Chains A and B, each alone.
Chain A
Amino acid sequence: MDRPEPAAVFPDLLSWESAGTSRIPFAAYTSETLHRRELERFFYQRHWCYVGLEAEIPNPGDFKRTVVGERSVILVRAQDGEVHVVENVCAHRGMSFCRERHGNHKDFTCPYHQWNYSLKGDLQGVPFRRGVKQDGKVQGGMPADFKPADNGLTKLRVAARGGVVFASFDHDVEPLEAFLGPAILRYFDRLFDGRALRLLGYNRQRIPGNWKLMQENIKDPYHPGLLHTWFVTFGLWRADNKSQLVMDEHHRHAAMISTRGQSGAAADVTQVSSFKADMKLEDPRFLDIVAEPWWGGPTAVMTTVFPSVIFQQQVNSVSTRHIQPDGHGAFDFVWTHFGFADDTPEMTERRLRQANLFGPAGFVSADDGEVIELSQQGFEQKPFHRTLAELGGTEVGDTDHMVTETLIRGMYRYWREVMEA
């Protein structure tokens, strides 16, 4: 059906077709004004954002530079072993002073005027604070009432669970466990069950699309069997996979839980036309899958924690995927692959080998970045239009199948509640 052209291709206001969220305005992805409101309301207030793993900063003085939303912060372990997160902006002249991406320091010093901070962010040194004595007189210096205690780095609230560190600029944010909610906490604790983690390394990609599209990608079980034909070709994704979709009570977080189907030939259960039953890997070690006791059944659980992170378990490959927005039209996507300290060398090798499926070049992930870029291009050319997320209806609720876009509708129900408040 031809749709009439609207009065304006570039509407001033965001408008939804109904009170529901199954039709998402393109303008939700194209407006810098809305993007800044999202940063305020999702990244800087009332939410916990992922900042890293404790395994990245094992020793006192270890730090990692990262972001909360678009604000540069430093995740650091102080001399007493406690984990802190401070904003990477000097209290004096606002310089983003920490340039290394990781390292070990006894304290932080801004190079501009040598203001010095403890690892906890307290100001402890201001050169020439008391002025300079010259010819018996004191010249200059900071005012007598200058209080170092009032001029430290901005300190974020920190919560760590199972070796994963979250931070918030909002000191009144609810406890992390309440933020995640019991349904999601269960899957979080399944992956991060207290075992020491072992850092395997990073992948970084800049995706020229709105950051929400990555949340939506991992809330969309419709696409894996269709876009990621590699999954289908080699039998990792099958339409008879047992599946479950669960959300927290606000519908902002979700888990896609699946257990690989075993019965019958994959050809009998797929509807994908490109499926080739006779296709075999030249080297089957890509899919040398060994079930692990902690799985407790599911072979894959993809957890989206709104707004900042995705936790991946796809068979033996586990990672965190950090969403770092950069304006409305791009985000950096940082993958941290890890294993567990008690992994055998064979299991570590297996995790590293299966990592070929994921990341910016991965057999089943590179194409996610590509489609996100091209969706953004579609949004930018006609912001008056809207997407359709109506597979499985227009309602929002947990399901025991994957043939639905309910998690996307749920996320936008929450988005509207917060953005329209």
Chain B
Amino acid sequence: MSAAMLREDAAGVPIDFATYHALVQLYAEYAYAVDSGDWDLWPEFFVDDCRYRLVPRENHERGLPLATLSFESKGMLKDRVYGIRETLFHDPYYQRHVVGAPLVRAFKPGRIESEANYAVFRTKLDGPSTVFNVGRYLDVVVATDRGLKFESRTAVFDSEMIPNSIIYPI
């Protein structure tokens, strides 16, 4: 591979363009999926033995283990989807993710550690669009025979005072 195809990101980790492109595509498709209302799409971004955590920044930075949501398998993500669809009463809303460019923190073939800023806007049926949850994703992404998947995704959010409740996946 020529030097021109290697990209030095801010953390100084070289990653080939094709892999970086696939990573960007994964982030974009995830954002599309969690905004689509088709919740079944969400668990499919993860490997079976995965971690998904939604954590207030306060707990993250103080080393406190509590998460707002903490799932330890793709099965738990599917259980969440069932809850969203069948059991969790909530005032319906749209959500819209805006995700920044991924910053690669570590890379070896088949495994990427990366992060990205995100902002989620919430729009209720009779109200304006408001900032709902902002933070950053801390990810471990692995190559599988179905393409890149999340081995773990931790959403650490600044918006510690949650506007009432979080129902849909961030």
A contact residues vs B (CB 8 Å cutoff): 101, 199-208, 227-230, 233, 274, 279, 281-283, 285-286, 332, 337, 348, 352-353, 355-356, 359-361, 363, 366-367, 369-371, 373-374
In the assembled complex, B79 has its CB within 8 A of some CB on chain A: yes
Which residue, B70, B72, B165, has most C-beta atoms of chain A within 10 A? B165
B162 CB-CB contact with A under 8 Å: yes
Residues of A within 8 A of B71 (CB): 356
B88 within 8 A of A: yes
In the assembled complex, how far is the CB of residue A64 from the closest CB belonging to chain B, in whole angstroms?
A: 12
How far does the Cβ of B33 sit from chain A's closest Cβ, in whole Å? Answer: 18
Q: What 6 A-B pairs come out closest when comparing CB atoms?
A: A201-B66, A282-B75, A201-B64, A283-B75, A366-B165, A230-B87
Q: Min CB distance, A52 to chain B, in Å?
A: 14
| B22 lies within 8 A of chain A by Cβ | no
B13-27 interface with A by 8 A CB criterion: none
Whether B164 and A208, one on each chain, are in contact in the complex, defined by CB atoms closer than 8 angstroms, is yes
A-B contact pairs, 8 of them (CB 8 A): A200-B64, A201-B64, A203-B162, A208-B164, A285-B73, A356-B76, A360-B68, A370-B90
CB distance from A158 to the nearest CB of B (A): 24
CB distance from A316 to the nearest CB of B (A): 14
- B66 with A355: CB separation less than 8 A: yes
Report the separation of the CA atoms of residues A371 and B165 in the bound assembly, to the nearest whole angstrom. 11
Q: Does B113 contact A (CB under 8 A)?
A: no
> Which residues on B are within 8 Å of A, measured CB to CB?
54, 56, 58-59, 62, 64-76, 78-79, 82-83, 86-91, 160-167
State whether A352 touches B68 (Cβ < 8 A).
no
- Of chain A, the residue at the smallest CB distance from B160 is A204
Q: Is the interface of A mostly helix, strand, loop or mixed?
A: mixed
Count A/B pairs, Cβ under 8 Å. 121
Q: When chains A and B are docked, how far (Å) is the Cα of A285 from the Cα of B162? A: 26
**Closest beta carbon of chain A to B126's beta carbon, Å:** 10
Instruction: A282 to B76: give the CA distance in the assembly, Å.
Output: 6
Which of B66, B69, B78, B79 has most chain A Cβ within 10 Å?
B66
Interface majority SS (helix, strand, loop, mixed), chain B: mixed
CB-CB under 8 A from A286, the residues of chain B are 76, 79
Measured between beta carbons, the chain B residues less than 8 angstroms from A374 are: 91
Q: How far is the CA of A373 from the CA of B75 in the complex (A)?
A: 31
Across the interface, do B75 and A202 meet the contact criterion of CB distance under 8 Å? no
Contact B69 A206 (CB under 8 A): no
Asked whether B83 lies within 8 Å of A230 as measured between CB atoms, the reply is: yes
Q: Is the CB of A352 within 8 A of B162?
A: no
Which residue in B68, B69, B79, B86 is a CB contact (below 8 Å) of A229?
B86
- Other-chain residue from A201, A352, A356, A373 in contact with B164 (beta carbon distance below 8 A): A373
Most chain B C-beta atoms within 10 Å of own C-beta, residue among A283, A355, A360, A361: A361
CB <8 Å contact, A367 and B88: yes
Q: Give which listed residue, B56, B59, B67, B73, contacts A283 with CB less than 8 A.
A: B73
The distance from the CB of A347 to the nearest CB of chain B, in whole angstroms, is: 13
A281, B79: Cβ atoms under 8 Å?
A: yes
Contact between B83 and A360 (Cβ–Cβ < 8 Å)?
no
Task: Evaluate whether A203 and B68 lie within 8 angstroms (CB atoms) in the complex, with A363-B88, A366-B166, A366-B167 already known.
Answer: yes
From the candidates B65, B76, B90, B163, name the one contacting A201 in the complex (CB within 8 A): B65
